[in-house]
Each structure stands twice: as C-alpha cells, then as structure tokens.
Amino acid sequence: MNERFNPKDAVMDFPRRDARDKLQGRTKYTVDVGGSEVIHAVLLRSEVACGRISKLDTDVASKMPGVRAIATHSDAPGLHGIGIADHPVFAGDVIRYHGEPIAAIAADTIAQARAAARAISVTIDVEQPVLTMEQALSDNAKLVHPDWQNYEILFEGAARGGNVAWEATVERGDTKEAFSRDDVTIVEGCYRVGRQSHVPFEPRAVVATFEDGRYHVHTSTQVPWTVRHVTAKVLGVPDSHVRVTVPAVGGGFGLKFDCSLEPYAAILAKKTGRSVSLINTRKEEQMTCLCRENADIRIRSAVTSDGEIVGREATVLMDCGAYGGEQVFLTTMSAHTLGGNYRLGSIKLSSQAVYTNTPPNGAFRACNGVYNTFALERHTDEICDAIDMDPIEFRLRNVVGDKDIGATGQVFEGEVLAPMLKQMVAKHPIQKTARELPDGRLYGRATTVGTWFIFVGPSAATVNLNADGSATLVTSGVEIGSGTMMQSLPQIVAASLGIHPEKVIVKTADTDASGRDLGVGGGRTTVSIGAASAAACDEVRDKLLSVASELLQTKSDELVLTNGRVEIRDRPGSGTTIQTVIQQAEIEFGPVSGSGAFTAPGIPAMPGCAAGHFIDAIDIPVFAVHDCELAVDPDTGQIEILAYRVVQDVGRALNPRAIHSQIQGGVVQGLGYAMQEEITINEDGAFNQQGFETYRLPMAGDVLPIEFDLFEGAPSCGPLGTKGAGEVPILNVGASIACAVANATGKTVSELPLTPTRVVSIVDDLERPLDFDHINVKWQKNTIAFR
C-alpha cells in the first residue's frame, strides 16, 4: 500500500448502510422479482435414489393450460463439475439420487407448472442404491458411476477409481520409522460427523431471460462468474453469451458457491422468449441442499513421552453424494486442517470424496475444517490422556509457529497460535472444578485450537470518481449478508482516497461491467476484492495528486488526501477540495478512474509432498482458539453452554463491530452443528428431515453472548494486513463442545452431533468408541495408489 495515508484511517465501526432496509423488508432479493412479464418454473425431481429411466413422456403435460415449455436432458446433455465433469443438468438414462431433476416446466403460474409436472409420465426401473460410504467402498460394490473413466478431467493429478471420485494425498517424512520407534506411544481414534444444512433465509432462486442472442441470469449466488461459465458450458455457448447479475443475497454460507438452478431457467427462457423465475421450495432446499458432507475419519499418531508428534497417519472419507462437486476440491483442505495446528515429524494423509446414491453435498462455512478440527482436537486430548500430559501444555509445546513446516512442507510465518493460546489462558485461567455440580449436572471445560485459511484468488476492481467527490466501486463482489461489501470495502476505498465511507458507492455484481472474480466466500472478500480495490485506488490517487500538484504548485509526494480535500502535508487548510481537482482532471484528460487486480501470491510447498491438491500451500493461514464451559444433564442428555470464549486471528481488524457479529453468528451456527442439527437418510435415499419441523436449528433461546478478543498483527498479504473474519468463527465449535463433554462425562466422544439421545448413550456407556471396518488401520490400504 502507498504510504500517503495512515492505514489506521480505515479502522472504524462503520455501520451497515443496508441494515434499516433489511430490517424493514425493503431490500429486494431475487425471490422478490416478479410482475406480469415473469412466468414460473418448477423441476420434476426423481422420487427414487437409483434407477434407469425407461420412459419419459411430456406430451400430455406440454398441452396443459398455461404451459409454455418443458425441458429435459436432450436440451442440455453436457456435463460439468469441479476437477472432473461428472454432473449432468438433467438425469438422462440414469437416476443417481432422490431429488435429481428429470424435467423443468415453465408455465404462466406456479400452480400450472406444478400440475404439468405431475402430468409428466416417467417410468423408472428402480435399482438398489448405494447409500453409505461403507457400502460404496466394500468389495465388489456397485458403482454409482460405472463410466467414471470416461469423464473429462478438468484438473490433473489426482487418483480416482471405483466409487472414489477424487483422492488427495500428503506424504512427508518416514511415518513407518516413526511408528516403529520404541520411545513412542501410539494413539488411534475414529471419528464421525453427519450432514448440516445451510438454511439461508432466501432459498436458491433465479430469473432468466434470453434477448439479443444472449442469456441474462439474475440470480441469488455467491459466484457470478462460476454461474456464467457453467451455464455457458452446459448450454454449449461461449461464456460471453451469458450475463449474470446479482442483487442482495439472502444468505449463502457456501450453499450458493456453485451453479445450481441457473441453467434450467436459462433453457426455459430461450424456449419461451419470456422471463422465467425458478425458486426452490423450502422442502426442495432442504432435501437437495448441498449440505456440509458427512465424513468418517481415522487418525493414528506416534508421540513421545515429552509430547513430540513424530508421526501421523490419517484417512478422511468425505461423502460427496451422487456427484463430485465441491467435495472434490475440499479433499485438498484436509492437509491444511487435519494436518494443521501442530508440528509433525512425518505425515501420511489421504482424503477421498466418495460417491453414494445420496443428494450431492457442497461447501459450507469453513467446510471440512469444522469436522477435521473436531477429530483432530478430540484426538489431541486422547493423546494427552495416553501420555498423561496437560492438554494446554501439550498444545503450547506443539502448535505451529514461525519457521515451522506444515503438512505439505510450507513454512509458516510468525508466532500466532501460541500467543493466542497464552492470551486465552491468561485471561481465563483453568481452575480445578468438581466434575459434578451441586444440581447433579456434570461440568466440563475445554480449550481447542484451529487452523483454517483465507481462500484468495483472482479479483478485479474499478474505482470511478464522481464530480461530487464520491467514488463508485465496481467489482463482482456480492453482498451475502456478511456486510463486507457495505463495510470493509468502502472503508478501504475511503481511507485510500481521503473521503468518508458513506461517499463510496458499491455497485452490485454484473459480469458485463466488472472483471472476473472467484466469488464471495472462504473469507476472501476483504482480502482479494479489497486488495484489488486498493490497487485501483492507487491509480486514482496518483491521477488526483498529479493534477493537484499543478494546481497547488507543490510536489505530489508532499500532498495528502484527507477529509475530502487535497492538502499540503502538515498544513491543514492549505489545499483544495477533491471536487476541484476532479473538475480540473476532466478538463485535462477526462473522468478519473482506476483499475486494480489481485490474485494468490503463491506460497511454496515441498515438492513431491502433495498429490491431487488444488492448493498445495495456503497463502493466508488464519487461526482460532476457543474455550467452552458447559454442563451436561446425565439423565436427559441436555447440554447447557455456561460460557463460550474466542480469540480470533484477524490480521488487522478494520471493523471490530462487524467482526464481533461474525463471531457471534458463527459460534451459534456451530452450536447447531455440534448439538442439534442432524440429517439421517432413509432406505429410499431421502432425508428424513424434510423441514423445520424435524430439522432442529438453534432458536433465539439457544443464543448466548460470546466473549471474544481479536488477535492482531499476524502476517497477511491482505490489504492493510487484513484477514477474512467470516468463516473461522465456526471452526472450533464442534471440537470445543465435544472435548468439554468428554471432560464432563469422563467418556469417549467421537461423533457429532451431540444430541440428547447420543449424550445419554455416552453417559450410560451405550455409545462405544468407533472403529471403522471400511478404513484400514494400515494407511496404505486406504489409498488408491497402494491398492
């Protein structure tokens, strides 16, 4: 960053300008787009999990009142995906999950569209589905994708085979030697987690039109450029033939970090010549919601008596559902989460995305980091029990720090986790407390650490100065409810240009007007889009100061932008207004604007360590320390959180109040994952929890105030030293609660969520420690390369 302004000028508790409209219901989302010109679409979805379509007859339905068009597989036969192109828009001959789209119907009204969907004649020869990863990985298992070898490879380097859609591995050092040492204790554990539904206020929704030979897709998404590319790919048109615009998004949490409904609406828009609206019902959203995936994990560690981890082997099985999707990419992150937190003398780790005949899964806030942290921190406490070492002492001895080597061989910068842990313990000392409280409940406390990353990547920004001294920021960023587009980005631009954030206008995303961007998620908005915006401001500032230098007859490096003026340094009132400079600039060369770009700087990993990884090393690690005190009722299994504390690594806190809201919301969302939200799949391959009546979410009464401290100063390539703050608050919650419950009950805790029924089983010794038959103790036998 240019030193012509003080970075501290960007730090403030700037309020959200959209807050009042959102609270009063005036904000317009994609679901609010309507009018007489808009017709309505629905999807006909499969009601079986596995089978072959032997008949599909739309003739009767197409002639029903109000029906404008029906689309099926023949209208978009192409495949798309991440890493591998395995995902069709419509089911063709094969049904792979309950809820898979078979046809899309557009009609004048939603009722007419639904009536036509019921009139479509479909005959499916039902087959036995593969519903669990145990079944998928068993000997002679039925293949969910028998033709997996024929799929187009979009990213080279991964092992694949059978029902394993993708495998990412890490091999660093000699684990065989580590485990054979006679001075180590070997600790093994198995861990399991279920799925979690995002439940944003606004379901997935899109309105599409086709005019002037181009598709215009107006949609609720986090990734407008991904939607543009995937829609074009499956429709067989150039990317430039698709324009994507995005209004305010009613929540995403990763659910909308992919293309979903958009191709259906686009196809129907071209067929009908009308604007077509397609909105998931709440049941559809729940039943096909791209959940955080269920996973099974085995970890095996060799540890010396003084706590050194000389070797670790781990296998992570991620249920990707019927198609690879985001889980293919997320296999990468196991290396940086399950292989994170601690120094490891040697490591072998494999992470597999496994096909099943269940609804596809997707990205969800901090993704697999949430359950990998749960498994890793439970395993860490089990190591401490095995070698009789205090858990805090063990962590302080082993957490990664400056110059330490990560799982893939990247070298970390700065001492971050250890000071954060010391800060937590100093402020909230661990005290010996009786396990049983006076009311008969069991008391437990745990402190955990976590490692996540900021998902950087390409972003672009343009800043236009307006005649009144305001600035317009044009990016492909999306306001998904986090406030970043309304707070940190205006703050960065305002500080760079010496104006107030209220004078920064942020344009909504439009792929025809803004440069390519990876999307809003992964904590990347402030970092990647913020850095691009700052670079654009550098160009604008240079132009302004060049013109002002002539006006004020002062060298440009003696000028500063502040309070809407250009001043001579250390001489307030000596300069002129920005408006005057803009006016002169327009006379000399025209309107003042600047463009900027940013991408991942690239951090080296150790060559040969990682295979099948999309990211070998993380550009911006971000750390968290959580502390939880709770009480367990041994008779009912109810858990009450007595206190919850967070120390979060933020780099530089541009807007502390905004970060506080992210911590509060992230922890509460994590409470649901840890204790309440459970999805089970029945024999038909459908979710048993079809709506809010059966899918238990945290309610207002479950919310508690979170105590937090922001840890500043850790290295970051983000603008002004920032790091994203939206994802990491949820990272440790499941781990902290599970470890505290284990401490309260004195029992093994190896599975989430900790529902009352499961907790009672743990207390009554009915919940045995897990030991997976489908994950071999010998690491090599779990990996495709060694089979």
pLDDT tens digits for range 463-479: 999 999 999 999 999 99
Q: Does the pLDDT of residue 785 top 80, yes or no? A: no
What pLDDT does 6 receive? 77
pLDDT in tens, 33-59: 999 999 999 999 999 999 999 999 999
What pLDDT does 326 receive? 97
What pLDDT does 786 receive? 73
Name, in order, each residue with C-beta under 8 angstroms of 749's C-beta and a sequence gap of 6 or more.
378, 738, 739, 741, 742, 762
- 540 φ/ψ angles, rounded to the nearest 5 degrees: -60, -45
Question: Percentage of residues in the chain with pLDDT exceeding 90?
Answer: 96
Name, in order, each residue with C-beta under 8 angstroms of 98's C-beta and a sequence gap of 6 or more.
46, 47, 48, 49, 287, 357, 358, 359, 684, 685, 686
**Residue 348 token pair:** 């072998």
Q: How confident is the model at residue 9 (pLDDT cuts 50, 70, 90)?
A: confident
Section 209-216 average pLDDT: 98
Residue environment code for 452-467, b if the CB has 16+ CB neighbours within 10 A, otherwise e: bbbbbbebbbbbbbee
- Label each residue of 38-86 as H, E or C: EEEEEEEECCCCCEEEEEEECHHHHCCCCEEEEECHHHCCCEECCCEEC
Angstrom distance (rounded) from CA 363 to CA 327:
8
Angstrom distance (rounded) from CA 501 to CA 564:
11
Name, in order, each residue with C-beta under 8 angstroms of 512's C-beta and a sequence gap of 6 or more.
243
Angstrom distance (rounded) from CA 708 to CA 621:
20
Contact 335, 217 (CB under 8 A): no
DSSP percent split of the chain into helix, strand, coil, nearest 5: 30, 30, 40
pLDDT in tens, 119-146: 999 999 999 999 999 999 999 999 999 9
Angstrom distance (rounded) from CA 349 to CA 372:
12
Angstrom distance (rounded) from CA 322 to CA 101:
13
Indicate the burial class of 574 (C-beta count within 10 angstroms; 0-12, 13-18, 19 or more): middle
Section 600-615 average pLDDT: 93
Contact 107, 67 (CB under 8 A): yes
pLDDT in tens, 706-740: 999 999 999 999 999 999 999 999 999 999 999 99
Indicate the burial class of 542 (C-beta count within 10 angstroms; 0-12, 13-18, 19 or more): middle
pLDDT in tens, 69-128: 999 999 999 999 999 999 999 999 999 999 999 999 999 999 999 999 999 999 999 999
Section 262-268 average pLDDT: 98
What pLDDT does 1 receive? 38
What pLDDT does 429 receive? 95
Q: What stretch of H or E contains 625?
A: strand 620-632
Angstrom distance (rounded) from CA 11 to CA 559:
22
**Encoded amino acid at 284, one letter:** E
Section 324-351 average pLDDT: 97
- Label each residue of 451-478 as H, E or C: EEEECCCCEEEEEEECCCCCEEEEECCC
What pLDDT does 141 receive? 97
| 772 to 160, 316, 327, 354, 641: CA distances (angstroms) | 22, 12, 21, 15, 31
Strands 275-279 and 38-45: parallel
What pLDDT does 417 receive? 98
Angstrom distance (rounded) from CA 370 to CA 673:
9
The verdict on pTM exceeding 0.85 is yes
Name, in order, each residue with C-beta under 8 angstroms of 620's C-beta and a sequence gap of 6 or more.
453, 454, 456, 527, 651, 716, 717, 718, 723, 724
Q: How confident is the model at residue 4 (pLDDT cuts 50, 70, 90)?
A: low
Average pLDDT, the chain: 96
pLDDT in tens, 370-422: 999 999 999 999 999 999 999 999 999 999 999 999 999 999 999 999 999 99
Section 141-161 average pLDDT: 97
What pLDDT does 48 receive? 98
Strands 620-632 and 639-651: antiparallel
Q: How confident is the model at residue 2 (pLDDT cuts 50, 70, 90)?
A: very low
What pLDDT does 5 receive? 66
Helix (H, G, I), strand (E, B) or coil at 1: coil
**Residue 295 token pair:** 């996973």
Q: Which of 4-8, 423-427, 517-521, 682-686 has the lowest mean pLDDT?
A: 4-8
Question: Percentage of residues in the chain with pLDDT exceeding 70?
Answer: 99
